[in-house]
A and B are shown apart, each in its own frame.
Chain A
């Protein structure tokens, strides 16, 4: 199965699959329906951190240093804990300033310095070359290994002539692939959705492959974790591997430095910066990534030790290269399919790294190295060229090919000097040099451009001298004497023991000295001079990114709208420029964009998405005549802006409070008006009700006075009316006063324990006259023992009297029957007054409890009474904690009931 043609076919098929995924994702992105806007895809794309180094090299390092391979993964896990603060800030800054790359980020911070951007690009490219060569080496040697099946041998020496050199072919194929992947078109914000989708996929592939071979080694070849570790402990040679510190694993200092190094690498490797920051679609995805990414790290490292120890136990010492255990172990057991899967996994890991890293680097080379130079060369007349997209793409493609070829060259020169992991660490140390300038830049406003330049130069210089040179020296490209006696025999400057500091492993030594030089120069030079106006402006934008509500405009100059439009059109095309201007005009509510600071800033931002901040700044400056702002003026503008923000915030709060207050006032006013109206109505109704009986009283007394000749019967009748009306008036006045007192809360309640039986006996007695007159029977239905209630006795009596007299009032005389009953009801005492009168229709059942309302029967005439009785009764009962209601059907009598809470 593992024949050349099969392997090549499967490899190309896999690459084709990756490309298809990328293409699909790009199409979806163009249609506006992104597939990568998911925190899971985001987290998977971050796993591009795990390259062929992880796939092959971890096992190799574990075979040498036991647990000492771990710090490289502990570092990122620790760093991620800090991400919510640091990375979120970087992402926010980058989105706001449309940063397109790491070099762009650093250059932008220090006053949009093109020099700094270029320097960062050079350091990045040179620094990453070893890393790329590592991937090339991994792919080509794994290819060779697989092809030698069924023979297992150490990969042949690589001094092969060029045409037969697999690595070169790999480099060229990857270059072609990457060009297809990442430079089919220019994206204004440097988003490569297809690329992200593809590497998320390949993260899954490499994880699955590694887990597959790991599981097979652990449970297929051996009998589980316990088995492998027991055997390792039993082997005298291998036992030391199990101790983390002090043993072969390395000492504390190397652990610490390795951890620090990888913490910085996870942030500043160009590919990591690209996927974490530039390709980030939503700040909130960081939240999930913070635990998903360490989880991935854990998963892909779980089987490293078992495979390493398994390989060491399986193969006699020195016969097999530990880096290739993942391949050679399955091959040795004739597991062809598994070996093929592993190969694809390794290929996947390597291609992922190469694609993203190279695209990121080529973007930097184009935007931050080549274009600024080209733009300044007046001879090329680029300012006049109409359409530069072709040029930009061409530069990027050239950069991709160049970078990969240089990677191959490094591979040829120094590839054999170190194992995979050591090679990778050299690159880590290189990108670590960006840390002071980048991290310092987002927290320290005093950092200057010169400081950053000095720090980078010093750090890179030391890195080159202590790590890169020795690699060349080891591979015989430089005299070996350099390492032993220092340059020109100056012992003090030995690359591996600078200034006499020896005894450290090479990496620790290099890191210490480079960081000392870097940070020292950075801080020292920054403190020597104050930041310029431009730098101060950018520093505020970066450091204070979380406190700025928007973006500050720092600009004063003259420009013309048409020239700005033409400038934009040259780089993004006429159509895109027109749309952008239209959107801008609409957003600002104007017909046509005015050439002011806002428009200049807008155009510069759009251009920055294509050219990078530094180049965009140059282009815009060439179109616009800018007046330099002094530092004082910038500071004043910033202060004013921040004061305005604070003031407007306070104003907003005040106006909100005012709004609330006036709303409350309106409501209160409405209530008062309503109350006023109700009062008017009440007064008018009361006055009417009082005058009516008064009319009769007056009229009849006058009649009696003026007519002495009246018959006795008539006299009696009229006097009777006077007496009755007087009573009615008295009653009415009493009730009106009651209502008035109840409503104003001026009633004095005298609570006591009441025996309802007594109440009923009393009220029956007092209303007996009324019942007798109308010949209505009153029945009492009382249980022998009635629990007491706590209420005002007089008031309850008033209620019962009211109900009884109501019942009598409407009943037909002679046949009328009223029943009063008492019962216990769920913690309450209930009293029912039932009558067999005409009943009350449903629509009247509620309104009779309202003021001045009665259920009158038009045929029998206006009912006697004020209409206040039930209203007062309801107020009394509700004040005592009970309920009063009526249930009735028209023509079938009525039952008035009320409840009172039981005492105790």
Chain B
């Protein structure tokens, strides 16, 4: 029996957090929530999630910066990162992926798509 996977959600929109929480809990993941970039980085270190759902537009420290720092920190390097973006802009996506994100999801997203992506990232490689 594998230990339950840990997922950290970082988004400042309360309603979106609620829906994401519901979805992740529905997958039997352990969930924590961060409301801004600083909190996200702190929790990444302390909670040591397996995966991070990261919104790019956040106050204090924006998502892309968080991504960069988490990748740069050896303690958190292994975390899988999925960035959530409301912009259709390719630049954000490209930058995110260049900074080390593993996947991206555009809002509004399909729940099924999101869950599938998360699951595939958390699957141990065959």
Residues in chain A within 8 A of chain B (CB atoms): 684, 687-688, 691-700, 702-703, 706-707, 721, 724-725, 856, 858, 861-862
A33 to B28, CA, bound (A): 101
Interface residues of B in 95-126 (CB under 8 A from A): 107-112
If the complex has contacts A688-B57, A858-B36, are A698 and B109 also in contact, measured as CB distance less than 8 A? yes
Question: How far is the CB of A229 from the nearest CB of chain B, in Å?
Answer: 104
Question: How far is the CB of B3 from the nearest CB of chain A, in Å?
Answer: 26
Q: Which residues of B contact A702 (CB under 8 A)?
A: 110-112
Instruction: Assess the B107–A856 pair: CB atoms within 8 A.
Output: no
Interface residues of B in 28-60 (CB under 8 A from A): 35-36, 57, 59-60
Q: B61-86 interface mask toward A, CB cutoff 8 Å, 1 = contact, 0 = none?
A: 00000000000000000000000001
Specify which of B15, B23, B26, B88 is in contact with A696 (CB 8 Å cutoff).
B15
- Chain A residues touching B, majority SS: helix
Q: Which residues of B contact A692 (CB under 8 A)?
A: 13, 16, 86, 107
B14 touches A (CB below 8 Å): yes
Instruction: Assess the B22–A862 pair: CB atoms within 8 A.
Output: no
A691 to B59, CA, bound (A): 18
Number of B interface residues, CB 8 Å?
26
If the complex has contacts A684-B87, A684-B89, are A721 and B108 also in contact, measured as CB distance less than 8 A? no
Query: Can you name the residue of chain A whose Cβ is closest to the Cβ of B57?
Result: A688
Question: How far is the CB of A235 from the nearest CB of chain B, in Å?
Answer: 115
Instruction: Assess the B23–A862 pair: CB atoms within 8 A.
Output: no
If the complex has contacts A684-B89, A687-B88, A703-B23, are A695 and B12 also in contact, measured as CB distance less than 8 A? no
If the complex has contacts A684-B89, A696-B19, A721-B18, are A862 and B13 also in contact, measured as CB distance less than 8 A? yes
Q: Which residues of B contact A698 (CB under 8 A)?
A: 108-110
Which residue, of B13, B19, B88, B89, has the highest number of chain A Cβ atoms within 10 A?
Answer: B19
Q: Which residues of A contact B60 (CB under 8 A)?
A: 858
Q: Which residues of A contact B12 (CB under 8 A)?
A: 861-862
Instruction: Assess the A695–B16 pair: CB atoms within 8 A.
Output: yes
Instruction: Assess the A687–B87 pair: CB atoms within 8 A.
Output: yes
Which residue, of B16, B35, B57, has the highest number of chain A Cβ atoms within 10 A?
Answer: B16
If the complex has contacts A687-B86, A861-B14, A862-B13, are A700 and B19 also in contact, measured as CB distance less than 8 A? yes
Question: How far is the CB of A460 from the nearest CB of chain B, in Å?
Answer: 99
Instruction: Assess the A696–B57 pair: CB atoms within 8 A.
Output: no
If the complex has contacts A688-B57, A696-B13, A856-B59, are A861 and B35 also in contact, measured as CB distance less than 8 A? yes
Question: How far is the CB of A722 from the nearest CB of chain B, in Å?
Answer: 9
Q: Which residues of B contact A688 (CB under 8 A)?
A: 57, 86-87
Instruction: Assess the B19–A703 pair: CB atoms within 8 A.
Output: yes
Question: How far is the CB of A630 from the nearest CB of chain B, in Å?
Answer: 79
Instruction: Assess the B86–A695 pair: CB atoms within 8 A.
Output: yes
Q: Which residues of A contact B14 (CB under 8 A)?
A: 861-862
Question: How far is the CB of B123 from the nearest CB of chain A, in Å?
Answer: 22
Specify which of B59, B86, B87, B88 is in contact with A862 (CB 8 Å cutoff).
B59
Query: Can you name the residue of chain B whose Cβ is closest to the Cβ of A707?
Result: B26
Instruction: Assess the A691–B107 pair: CB atoms within 8 A.
Output: yes
Question: How far is the CB of A709 from the nearest CB of chain B, in Å?
Answer: 11
Specify which of A684, A699, A862 is in contact with B108 (CB 8 Å cutoff).
A699
Question: How far is the CB of A611 from the nearest CB of chain B, in Å?
Answer: 83
Q: Which residues of B contact A724 (CB under 8 A)?
A: 15
Q: Which residues of A contact B111 (CB under 8 A)?
A: 699, 702-703, 706
Q: Which residues of A contact B108 (CB under 8 A)?
A: 691, 694-695, 697-699
Query: Can you name the residue of chain A whose Cβ is closest to the Cβ of B110?
Result: A702
Question: How far is the CB of B84 from the nearest CB of chain A, in Å?
Answer: 9
Q: Which residues of A contact B26 (CB under 8 A)?
A: 707
Q: Which residues of B contact A697 (CB under 8 A)?
A: 108
Q: Which residues of B contact A693 (CB under 8 A)?
A: 15
A695 to B19, CA, bound (A): 9
Query: Can you name the residue of chain B whose Cβ is closest to the Cβ of A859?
Result: B35
Q: Which residues of A contact B13 (CB under 8 A)?
A: 692, 695-696, 862
Give me 18 A-to-B residue pairs in the complex whose CB atoms sit less than 8 angstroms apart, sorted by A's number.
A688-B86, A691-B86, A695-B16, A695-B86, A695-B109, A697-B108, A698-B110, A699-B19, A699-B23, A700-B15, A703-B23, A706-B111, A721-B18, A856-B59, A858-B59, A861-B35, A862-B12, A862-B13
